[in-house]
Homo-oligomer: A and B are copies of this chain.
Amino acid sequence: MGDDTAVNPRHNKAEVFARLRDAHAREVTEDYVEMIGDLIAEEGEARSVALAERFGVTAATVNNTIKRLERDGFVTSRPYRSIFLTEKGETLAKKCRERHRIVYNFLVSIGIDPEIAEFDAEGIEHHVSEETLRVFEKVAKT
């Protein structure tokens, strides 16, 4: 017993699902730092009203999330002022933007409609390993 894994890889999937739960826990953080970065680039600053509008949630929800991001060291904010990325937040945002770009370009390169690619990339990007990302990059370059 115990070598069930070797025999049938569909057993012992606990690790896969643990990773999945981790990925999920990071999703909101990643989407927020990415969006904050975009807003700063496009509009010069990130206001919570803009975040609420772009994510389609209420201002109260944005407030909660920003507090969490601040607690976790991704952003700084002062009451009634705009939101800034920390070094850590900046780094993550950059990584996410890059990953998003790769996934989106890959999907388009295999023939998916750009609008659908935009939808799907937003969901897929959080679940793509480094290895898979490299392959996506290579395929898209072809």
- A interface residues, Cβ below 8 angstroms from B: 9-20, 23-24, 27, 31, 38, 53-57, 107, 110-120, 122-124, 126-129, 131-132, 135, 139
Contact = CB atoms under 8 A, between A and B. Distances in A.
A14, A23, A124: residue with the most chain B Cβ atoms closer than 10 Å: A124
A124 B118 contact: no
Contact of A124 (B53, B119, B124): B124
A118 B17 contact: no
Contacts of A128: 120, 123-124
A16 to B, nearest CB: 5
13 contacts: A9-B114, A11-B54, A13-B54, A17-B57, A20-B122, A20-B123, A110-B139, A119-B129, A120-B127, A120-B128, A120-B129, A123-B126, A124-B127
A135 B123 contact: no
B118 A131 contact: no
A112 B106 CA distance: 14
Contacts of A122: 13, 16-17, 20, 127
Contact of A123 (B14, B31, B120, B127): B127
Nearest to A113: B131
